Amino acid sequence: MIEGINITKRFGDRIVLENVTVRFDKGKTNLIIGQSGMGKTVLLKCLVGLFDFEQGEVFYDNRLFSKMSFTEKKSIRKEIGMLFQGGALFDSMTAEQNVMFPLTMFTTMLPDEKRDRANFCLSRVNLENVNDMLPSELSGGMKKRVAIARAIALNPQYLFCDEPNSGLDPQTANLIDELIKEITLEYDITTVVVTHDMNSVLEIGQKVYFIYKGKLWWEGDRDNILHTVNPELKAFVFNSELTRRLKPV
């Protein structure tokens, strides 16, 4: 379980997050949704400790993460897998080396074991024959998938995904959603997914937080999101023909 309590984050004198409180349960796929530029990525980065924030606390299974020293944080970070919005693959390494990197740094696995594990993770995101390709030789969606493979390589306890299926075709996007759901259940981990894809919301939104202008505007799940009366959320949810057809009357 991950909790962010009363998080307020400023850049200069611009408030990007204001008193946001979120709670992500274990074994569930938790979603953060919202329009572009509303602070979803910033919230994620506050939760994993990449951004310092003015006010608030972050707990990982009741361990007060936000006040820990770098060395203390390290033990928790080894349990975190994170997919960045842009992938953030190491561009001097091949796809396979990227996935093997966390294994090299944090396990005593033999090279063959690491390669097997990397291949297993790559196959889970439906990637084959890309092992020796550099990130610059991969398509946008392939990069994203390699990055997901890297994020799950160490069997994380906490999985953060920033827009895992943006830039993917609907089928592959679905496959990634399925994968995230499977991993979450299979290993009973805490998963947080940032998305603005309504498909994913309905697919894996066991818990949904809607961020609007840096504030927590609504929380619920995939079942009650279609019945919302919140005008901003309604505008977000029913913006396309497809979702308008789902609108309960």
* Interface map 99-128 toward other proteins (x if CB under 8 A): ---x-xxx----------------------
For the record, the structure tokens of 241 come out as: 């023909």
From the list 40-48, 103-111, 199-207, 220-228, the region that binds ligand ATP by CB under 6 A is: 40-48
State the number of binding residues for other proteins (CB under 8 A). Answer: 25
From the list 14-22, 81-89, 110-118, 229-237, the region that binds other proteins by CB under 8 A is: 81-89
Pick from 4, 34, 49, 164: which binds ligand ATP (CB under 6 A)?
A: 34
**Contact status: 233 vs ligand ATP (CB under 6 A):** no
> DSSP class of residue 84?
B
3-class DSSP state of 197? coil
Pick from 29, 41, 97, 200: which binds Mg ion (CB under 5 A)?
A: 41
Angle, alpha carbons 96-136-103 (nearest 5°): 25
CB of 174 to other proteins, least distance (A): 26
Q: CA–CA separation, 116 vs 213, rounded Å?
A: 44
The DSSP string of 85-133 is: TTB---TTS-HHHHHHHHHHHH----HHHHHHHHHHHHHHTT--S-TT-
CB of 214 to ligand ATP, least distance (A): 7
**Contact status: 16 vs other proteins (CB under 8 A):** no
**Contact status: 131 vs ligand ATP (CB under 6 A):** no
Dihedral sign, Cα of residue 209, residue 212, residue 218, residue 222: negative
From the list 87-95, 184-192, 200-208, 235-243, the region that binds other proteins by CB under 8 A is: 87-95
Q: CA–CA separation, 153 vs 166, rounded Å?
A: 21
Chain centroid offset of residue 93 CA = 23
The label of the residue with tokens 């506050």 reads 46
Q: Which residues bind other proteins (CB under 8 A)?
A: 45, 48-50, 70-71, 73-78, 80, 82, 84-86, 88-91, 102, 104-106
